[in-house]
Each structure stands twice: as structure tokens, then as C-alpha cells.
Structure 1
Amino acid sequence: MEYASNASDGTQIAYTVVGSGPPLLMVHGSFLTHTIWRTFGYVKALRGSRQLILIDSRGHGRSDKPHTPDAYAMTNIVGDLTAVLDAVGVSAVDYLGYSFGARAGLALTAATPDRVRSLAVGGGSHGAQAGAFDRLFFPGCADVLEQSGMEGFLEAWSSHRMFPIDSGTRAVFSANDAQAMAAYIRASDADSGLPDEVLQHFTQPSLFYVGSEDRIRLGDTRTAAALVPDSELHIIRGFDHATTMAASEEVLAHLERFWDN
């Protein structure tokens, strides 16, 4: 992987570029890395027709992992994305993001609209996020990360679930830096998001998608799609927040039609 430096705080963001064609910036969700796009077949499907710019968001994967919440302010996340685009040498991209990657894409579009040609986002929210991770995992999850590390977090999460954590998920989550993830969660809790009127002024072609069983983001996605002029909304039937990434065949079909228009 290569690295781009955020000029505002020096954080190093890991990225890799594969394929050829119009550039597409792909941004993963929380606790994951750029490899999730490979795992579910997006890279294989798109690399023949797209220049794919795959990043590890700050705090994740091979990127730097600050331990203070202010490091994860959305202004810094936007700075990370523009630093990567500058390092790759592209002025504007199509954008694809899921969950936190969707939120980052909305923020990037709001802050630097000239750098986003089209926007495709899944399972995201532009609103305030206080308590979102407590609802996703369990109450007090940031405290557990700080005090008991990633293993303690996984044990507590498992005790709040109907089914045990599968070995694949456990392996991916175990690779995270617990203190960085705690700071990341606290920054999310403090993030007020974007006002509705900002989305109402988006001019980029935009596509929103979300799983029909995604109790966390279904309403948020519907709301955002209704605000962005002339946007598309696709409901991926039978999938929830954690599994919609795996619905790659259906998601890719929607994306290809969207990009072809």
C-alpha cells in the first residue's frame, strides 16, 4: 500500500489503486478495512472498467491510529480523502461508500463538491450520531474498549447478541486498536452531522441503498435520499446493516445502471 499525508495533522492514510478507467473512490465502514471490497467481490467486478482507489480510513487497517477523539472529527476525515485524491493525482471521482464510508462521502460532497462527480452510498446517515454505536453494539461500548481492550469488547458484544460472533468477524475486529476505536466512537457521538438543507443543494447524480432489515439505517437512508434532488433509492431485500455488503451482486447491478446513465 501507499500513503498520503493529511496536511492538517500529519496523519498517514494507507491506500492502494487497482484497475483502469474512470476513478472510483471506495470507503469502507467502521471496524473494517479496504479488504472488505475484495472479500465480497466488488474489486473483481469493477477493476476491469474502473480505476479503484481503496483506502483504510484513519484508525483502521494500515492507516495511522490516533487515540484522541478530536483526531476523528469529520473535517479530518474529509481532509484524509482529499489527501488521497491529491496523492493519486485525480481532481474528481465517483464515490462509493458504505456505513461510515457513506457518511464520509456525504461530508466530502458537502465540503468539496467539485471533487465528487457522482455519489453512491449505502447504509449511511447525515444526521447526529450520539449513541449510534451503543445501539449497534451495546451500551457503554467505548468504555469497554478503553478499559478491557478489543477482547473484552468482543466478549461483551457476544453477550448482548442472539447468536455468537462468527470466527471471521472476530478475527477482523480483533485486528483493531482498541484505544483508537474508542476515540473513533466518541468522535462519532459528538458529530452533529449535516443540516438537511445541505443535502437539498447537492447537484451530483446520487444513489442511496440500504438493507430492508437494517433497523439502524433504513429510516436515515430514506430521509437522505428524499432530500437529495433526483436521487435513486434502492432497498436490498432481506439484508440488515451487517450483511448488506455481502449483497454485492444486487448492489453492483444497481451501481452499473446508475453509472451508465
Structure 2
Amino acid sequence: MIPFRAEATNPQDGVPIAWDSVGATGRETVLLVHGSALSKAIWRGMGYVAALTEQYRVVSMDLRGHGRSGKPHDRADYRLDRVLADVLAVLDSAGVRQAHYLGYSFGARLGFGLGSVAPERMASFVSLAGSYRITPGSIAELFFPGYDAALASGGMDGFIAGWEGRTGRPVDPVTRMAFKANDPLALRAYFAQTEAGEGVPEAELREFPVPALLLAGTRDTRRLADSRRAAELMPQARLVELPGRNHGDTLVPAAPVLAEILPFIAAHPVRPEPPTPGLPAP
């Protein structure tokens, strides 16, 4: 199925945000938000779009600094409030009042934030290898030490070489394509702000009003620990451990992950739109 491609504009700073839509617009919507250094293309390449469009309209977006979205070079342009405004701009542009939110890594961290500032836009929340906080050194832990120097000296080719050195194997074609679509200056600014560590306070997690499914690999120790803690705090959260998976393997193979996601989403349908004041209820 050929996706409908469009662009939203962040009302705060005018940065354009690319998004795709697949599936009938009359269905409930699943919003897919990728992680650091990737793009919306991963969801199609790894089979999530095809599986979800059997029942849902699927909207996927490129984070600012990634893919086909705008790529500012100022670190301040990647503050959490700006990126959350991007998510809301995409939902508005797509005509979606409320969506099932599915985020991977940094995309999941955004989901924790969205549930705090605009929970009415979420019918459910799926966190894949996500955390509501970040600690110093997390970027180097996820990618490789010296990632910033590699971007500065070798651009995306240097970053890919560093990643392959860390993992000991070639980057798969889907991830390579996502990496190559990035601007190294924008990615350095994004990483610098991400490392600064804007998270969601635990007090807000205790009031998190959206049903949540938290998935993390048993070898992704930091994200698994944070997901366990979040599941303890959040009133409607459930943790699922993915045996043998590390951070980079969280999404593949997709079938066992989707086997958890699909029934969870189905159990939490989009809430009916409230009646307009002064008009009789239907």
C-alpha cells in the first residue's frame, strides 16, 4: 500500500515535520514514533506498518533532526517541549483527535512526556525499550563511546563505522538507510540536548492516566529496570520482558512484539468524542 505523505509545521518555531499515513482514515489511528538516529522508514521495513494496517490507520512521523523532517543545528531546538509540540502538530495535521501511541527508545520517552502534558490525545501507550528518564552517558552506552567525535569528523559514514565496530557486524539495510538520511550537525545537536536529560518526574507517573504496555529486552538492562520502575508507579501499566533481546534488537523479529501489542491496543479503544455543549447527546 502506497503511503500518503504530508508535512506538519511546529507552531512554536516553524520546523517542518514529515509524516506518512497508511490505511483508511475512518479507522482508529496508531501513531508510530522512532528512536534516535532512525526514521519513520524503520516501521515499514521491519513489518509493523503492514501488520497494523490490517485493522488500523497507521501514522508515522520523522522526529525533527531525522529523516525528511527539518534539521535545525541549535541544541535548544531539541528541547522536549519543542519535540512534543511536533507530535501534537502531526496529530492535528492528520486530523486525529486521539491515537494509540507506540514509541521506540526516544520515541517512547516522548510518549511518557505526552501522557503528562496531553493525555487526552492518547487512547493507549506502548513503550518499546523506553525510559521516562535519562542518565549521563546513556547515548554512548546505546551507540558507542566517541559517537560525537565520529559524527564531527566522519559524518554519518563515521557514525556507521563506529556502530559496526561496537556491534561487530554490518548495519542491516533498513537501519543503514535511516542512519544515512541524517544530517550529522543536526544529530550532534539532538544528542547533546537528549543527553541533558529532560524526563518525566516520578510524581507525574503516579498520575499517568493512560493505559500503558511497557516492553523491554532482558539484555537491555537499563531500559528494563526503568520499565519495571515505571510499571510500579503507573496506575494502568503492565510490563512485558522480551527474552534475550538487547536495545537494538527490541523491534525484531516483530511477530512476538506484535503479539503483545495488538491485543493491548484492541482492549483500549479510542474514547468517543465528548458531545458539544448545548447539543443533545447522540
Q: Same fold (TM over 0.5)?
A: yes
- Supply the distance in 2 between the matched residues of 1:165 and 1:215 (Cα, whole angstroms): 23
Q: Which residue of 1 aligns with 2:62?
A: 56
Contact 2:218-2:246 at 8 Å conserved across structures: yes
Task: For residue 221 of structure 2, give the secondary structure of its aligned residue in structure 1.
Answer: coil
Cα distance change on mapping 1:162 and 1:252 into 2, 3 Å:
closer
Cα distance change on mapping 1:39 and 1:88 into 2, 3 Å:
same
Which of 20, 23, 45 is residue 19 of structure 1 equivalent to?
23
Q: Which residue of 2 aligns with 1:28?
A: 34
Which of 72, 75, 80 is residue 66 of structure 1 equivalent to?
72
Give the superposition deviation at 1:167: 5.1
- Supply the distance in 1 between the matched residues of 2:195 and 2:183 (Cα, whole angstroms): 19
Give the superposition deviation at 1:239: 1.3
Normalising by structure 1, we get a TM-score of 0.94
Structure 1 counterpart of 2:21, one-letter code: V
- Supply the distance in 1 between the matched residues of 2:172 and 2:62 (Cα, whole angstroms): 22
**Percent identity among equivalent residues?**
40
Give the superposition deviation at 1:171: 4.2
State the Cα RMSD in Å: 1.6
Task: For residue 118 of structure 1, give the secondary structure of its aligned residue in structure 2.
Answer: strand
Structure 2 counterpart of 1:224, one-letter code: A
Which of 155, 161, 165 is residue 170 of structure 2 equivalent to?
165
Residues 154-198 of structure 1: CA deviation (Å, up to 9, x unaligned)? 333444x25133352444323321111111110111123111111
Contact 1:73-1:191 at 8 Å conserved across structures: no
Task: For residue 59 of structure 1, give the secondary structure of its aligned residue in structure 2.
Answer: coil
Structure 1 counterpart of 2:170, one-letter code: I
Structure 2 counterpart of 1:125, one-letter code: S
Runs of at least 5 residues in structure 1 that lack an aligned partner in the other structure: none
Give the superposition deviation at 1:114: 1.1
Residues 212-239 of structure 1: CA deviation (Å, up to 9, x unaligned)? 1113411111111221113111111121
Q: Which residue of 2 aligns with 1:4?
A: 8
Contact 1:78-1:104 at 8 Å conserved across structures: yes
Mapping of residues 89-108 of structure 1, within 5 Å: 89-108=95-114
Q: Which residue of 1 aligns with 2:279?
A: none
Which of 88, 97, 109 is residue 82 of structure 1 equivalent to?
88
- Supply the distance in 1 between the matched residues of 2:172 and 2:51 (Cα, whole angstroms): 26
- Supply the distance in 1 between the matched residues of 2:162 and 2:235 (Cα, whole angstroms): 42
Structure 1 counterpart of 2:168, one-letter code: F
Aligned length: 260
Cα distance change on mapping 1:47 and 1:158 into 2, 3 Å:
closer
Structure 1 counterpart of 2:231, one-letter code: A
- Which structure would you say has the larger Rg? 2
Give the superposition deviation at 1:12: 0.2
- Supply the distance in 2 between the matched residues of 1:156 and 1:117 (Cα, whole angstroms): 39
Task: For residue 101 of structure 2, give the secondary structure of its aligned residue in structure 1.
Answer: strand
Structure 2 counterpart of 1:75, one-letter code: D
- Supply the distance in 2 between the matched residues of 1:224 and 1:250 (Cα, whole angstroms): 22
Normalising by structure 2, we get a TM-score of 0.87
Residues 2-37 of structure 1: CA deviation (Å, up to 9, x unaligned)? 100001010000001111310111101111111111
Task: For residue 12 of structure 2, give the secondary structure of its aligned residue in structure 1.
Answer: coil
- Supply the distance in 2 between the matched residues of 1:24 and 1:156 (Cα, whole angstroms): 34
Structure 2 counterpart of 1:15, one-letter code: W
